[in-house]
């Protein structure tokens, strides 16, 4: 759920600053501590003195003498705790609420999705022409019985098989499961039972979502043959909506980047280039017309970055809007699940099926989703991140503001707080180290292909030297960040920003704000570029209205990668 090692230039340094281990120190294993870790001997005053250097502290000899007994007792307690079994799905008793202290959530809204009237539709003579059709169009054709779910499922299964050799985006095809679901969907539709706009529509799941009886690999070698005994909550909800799961799609190992045990997932617009990540396969497959939509996840850029690279429209919902039950945990306070689609209208349809309270994920809320794409933008309070729109900046960025002005909006400049968000993002690494504690200690992470200084195995080891006191200080600073950001958003429903401007990605992931990333042009090498809309907490309806309005007067989202067009 973390963005890749290779984000779009020139934002690479800002985007990946946290990944270099800021705040963790360059020398992580002083000789004395390393030897103690190997021989299990008592921790001495000399070792404590060396450990002080890691934490930026200085104690006297008398204080070290007092510490000696305490730290040895603490290490014995660690050993006892490690002997107690701990299932992967157990979350800490502490949990994150994105609402700043003293503020309240908005009142619950109705559950309603209103789309513009569709143009007259008919099935093409060659069904391959539907490979890039939006979900709303496929839904209409299915409901009118102009096409069947089995036909669509076979079409997209065939495209996944045909193009995976160049994109490396598929971990597991679910042919039998998919065709059984498609036949059941057709039977219900033929009988006049319509579950909703996703009924009979194929989709792909990022392979960190549990699927009962089908392997879920996290893109990582140690889990290549892991087969869960349950479905993730989002899989359950899409099953209930009648959608047809056809494939588990790749992710960078343990949700970082685009390199997994099957290779590097590719960008359909430039197959020599990685698709970015970690929702690598979800973005690549959707952009290449191999699935109508996919579910991805984001902790720190893993929907925004691959959507930018591959030209998909990706929605990162507010923290707590979509249940993470049955999804691989990387950061209990930052993980979010959301759809990657061809356009904002499709994101609205999928999000409507996903959002809501789930008692198995105590962070979730039940606030409804009232989306009406026919409402004008006039009346919405739209801002733009002033620092992200410098004089002489990209024309495509300014064109987004012009397009919104032409539809009655009045974007106003705003600023986000300068709060050291990149430093606070180290909390993610500590939580990830806790989630993958045993695989770190027993050496299984040595099987991962990425083993460099900025790869998970080293970052998880480094996190062992993040003092608990400093972690809680970061958590307190994060509380301040929630309030400062709430104040910055007080006068805005939606804020427009380049996706990697300053600390916007780290800041809004730490605060749990929703984001919608949209293609807004192409670079000189023919690859997509993007703009991001940031919404107020729980403001997905307004966020998607603005995105749909922009896409109603542009066609960047409708472009097809030439090598995969039909």
Positions annotated as catalytic residues are: 206, 278, 302
DSSP 41: P
Asked if residues 168 and 265 have their Cβ atoms less than 8 Å apart, the reply is yes
Rounded to 5°, the CA angle 332-337-341 comes to 160
Rounded to 5°, the CA angle 121-541-207 comes to 80
The span from the CA of 234 to the CA of 68, in Å, is 49
Count of other CB atoms within 10 angstroms of residue 395: 9
The span from the CA of 400 to the CA of 394, in Å, is 11
Count of other CB atoms within 10 angstroms of residue 24: 19
Return the closest-CA partner of residue 237 out of 105, 370, 327, 142.
327
Q: Which residues are CB-neighbours of 421 under 8 A, at least 6 positions away?
A: 481, 503, 506, 507, 510
Q: Which residues are CB-neighbours of 373 under 8 A, at least 6 positions away?
A: 114, 115, 116, 345, 348, 544, 545, 548, 549
The span from the CA of 404 to the CA of 533, in Å, is 12
Q: Tally the C-alpha atoms within 13 A of residue 78's C-alpha that lie toward its C-beta.
A: 13
* Cα end-to-end span (Å), the chain: 31
The span from the CA of 388 to the CA of 260, in Å, is 33
Which phi-psi region, left, alpha or beta, contains residue 40 (left: φ > 0; alpha: ψ -120 to 50)? Answer: left
The span from the CA of 374 to the CA of 166, in Å, is 40
The phi and psi torsions of 27 (rounded to 5 degrees) equal: -100, 105
Print the SS3 string covering 449-493.
Answer: CCCCCCCHHHHHHHHCCCCHHHHHHHHHHHHHHHHHHHHHCCCCC
- Cis peptide bond N-terminal to 278, omega within 30: yes
Print the SS3 string covering 516-532.
Answer: EEEEEEECCCCCEEEEE
Long-range contacts of 234-237 (CB under 8 A, 24+ apart): 234/205, 234/209, 234/295, 234/322, 234/323, 234/326, 234/327, 234/337, 234/354, 235/205, 235/209, 235/210, 235/211, 235/326, 237/323, 237/353, 237/354, 237/356
**What residues are paired with 438 via a beta bridge?**
none
Q: Which residues are CB-neighbours of 90 under 8 A, at least 6 positions away?
A: none
DSSP string, 26-38: S----HHHHHHHH
DSSP 135: H
Q: Tally the C-alpha atoms within 13 A of residue 66's C-alpha that lie toward its C-beta.
A: 4
């Amino acid at each position: 759920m973390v963005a890749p090692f290779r984000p779009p230039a020139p934002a690479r340094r800002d985007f990946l600053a946290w990944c270099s281990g800021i705040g963790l120190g360059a020398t992580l294993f002083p000789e004395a501590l390393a030897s103690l870790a190997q021989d299990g001997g008592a921790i001495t005053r000399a070792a404590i003195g060396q450990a002080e250097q890691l934490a930026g502290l200085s104690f006297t000899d008398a204080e070290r003498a007092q510490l000696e007994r305490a730290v040895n007792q603490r290490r014995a307690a660690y050993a006892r705790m490690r002997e107690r079994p701990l299932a992967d799905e157990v979350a800490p008793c502490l949990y994150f609420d994105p609402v700043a202290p003293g503020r309240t959530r908005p009142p619950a809204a109705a559950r309603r999705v209103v789309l513009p009237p569709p143009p007259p539709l008919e099935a093409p003579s060659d069904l391959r022409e539907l490979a890039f059709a939006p979900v709303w169009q496929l839904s209409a054709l299915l409901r009118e019985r102009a096409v069947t779910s089995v036909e669509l499922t076979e079409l997209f299964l065939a495209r996944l098989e045909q193009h995976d050799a160049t994109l490396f985006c598929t971990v597991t095809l679910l042919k039998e499961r998919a065709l059984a679901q498609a036949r059941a969907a057709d039977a219900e539709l033929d009988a006049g039972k319509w579950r909703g706009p996703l009924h009979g529509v194929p989709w792909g799941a990022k392979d960190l979502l549990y699927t009962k009886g089908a392997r879920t690999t996290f893109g990582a070698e140690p889990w290549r043959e892991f087969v869960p005994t349950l479905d993730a909550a989002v899989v359950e909800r899409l099953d209930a909506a009648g959608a047809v799961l056809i494939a588990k799609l790749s992710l960078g190992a343990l949700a970082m980047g685009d390199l997994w045990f099957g290779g590097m997932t590719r960008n359909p617009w430039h197959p020599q280039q990685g698709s970015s990540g970690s929702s690598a396969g979800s973005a690549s497959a959707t952009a290449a017309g191999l699935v109508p939509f996919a579910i991805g996840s984001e902790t720190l850029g893993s929907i925004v970055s691959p959507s930018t690279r591959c030209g998909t429209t990706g929605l990162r919902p507010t923290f707590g809007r979509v249940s993470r039950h049955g999804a691989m945990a990387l950061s209990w306070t930052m993980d979010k699940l959301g759809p990657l689609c061809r356009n904002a209208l499709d994101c609205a349809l999928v999000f409507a099926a996903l959002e809501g309270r789930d008692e198995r994920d105590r962070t979730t809320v039940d606030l409804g989703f009232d989306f009406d794409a026919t409402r004008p933008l006039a009346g919405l309070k739209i801002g733009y991140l002033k620092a992200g729109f410098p004089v002489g900046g990209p024309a495509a960025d300014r064109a987004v503001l012009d397009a919104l002005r032409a539809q009655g909006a009045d974007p106003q400049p705003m600023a986000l707080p300068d709060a050291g968000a990149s430093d606070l993002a180290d909390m993610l690494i500590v939580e990830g180290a806790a989630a993958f504690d045993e695989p770190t200690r027993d050496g299984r992470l040595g099987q991962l292909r990425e083993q460099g200084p900025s790869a998970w195995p080293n970052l998880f080891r480094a996190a062992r030297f993040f003092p608990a006191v400093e972690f809680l200080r970061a958590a307190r600073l994060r509380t301040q960040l929630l309030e400062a950001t709430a104040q910055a958003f007080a006068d805005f429903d939606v804020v427009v920003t380049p996706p990697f401007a300053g600390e916007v990605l780290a800041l809004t992931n730490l605060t749990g704000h929703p984001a919608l990333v949209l293609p807004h042009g192409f670079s000189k090498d023919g690859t997509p570029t993007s703009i991001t809309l940031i919404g107020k907490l729980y403001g997905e309806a307004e966020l998607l209205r603005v995105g749909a309005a922009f896409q109603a007067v542009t066609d960047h989202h409708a472009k097809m990668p030439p090598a995969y067009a039909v």
